[in-house]
Amino acid sequence: MRVKIQKSLSRGEYFVSFQTVGFNEEETEKINKFGPPKVDFSSDGLGEQNLEGLDISLRFDTQEQAEETVNRIQNLIRENMDQLRAKIDTFSGEEIIEL
């Protein structure tokens, strides 16, 4: 998964945005089977967000708050994508049975 992180400082406020840029072939296949992973951004006032179309912006009063949040969100996204990558489809298939 690729995520674009934009940071800017304007009028003494720190802005950070996260936007999904794309997924590799394996991730796309897993998303098509299991659905897109979701991340809970409730502590940031944004609720649960789907990573497939992630596009969020946050504002902070200090650089330290912004940087801590960037690191926390990166870790949340990484954990959720690791969980998706680890999933195995044990359901799909075909069988012929005699009754």
pLDDT for 56: 95
pLDDT for 29: 96
- Residues 31-79 pLDDT 10s: 999 999 999 999 889 999 999 999 999 999 999 999 999 999 999 999 9
Answering whether pTM is above 0.75, one says yes
- Residues 5-24 pLDDT 10s: 999 999 999 999 999 999 99
What b-and-e string marks burial along 67-98, b requiring 16 or more CB atoms within 10 Å of the CB?
eebbeebeebbeebbeebeeeeeeeeeeeeee
- Residues 68-95 pLDDT 10s: 999 999 999 999 999 999 999 999 999 9
How many of the other CB atoms lie within 10 Å of CB of 33?
A: 13
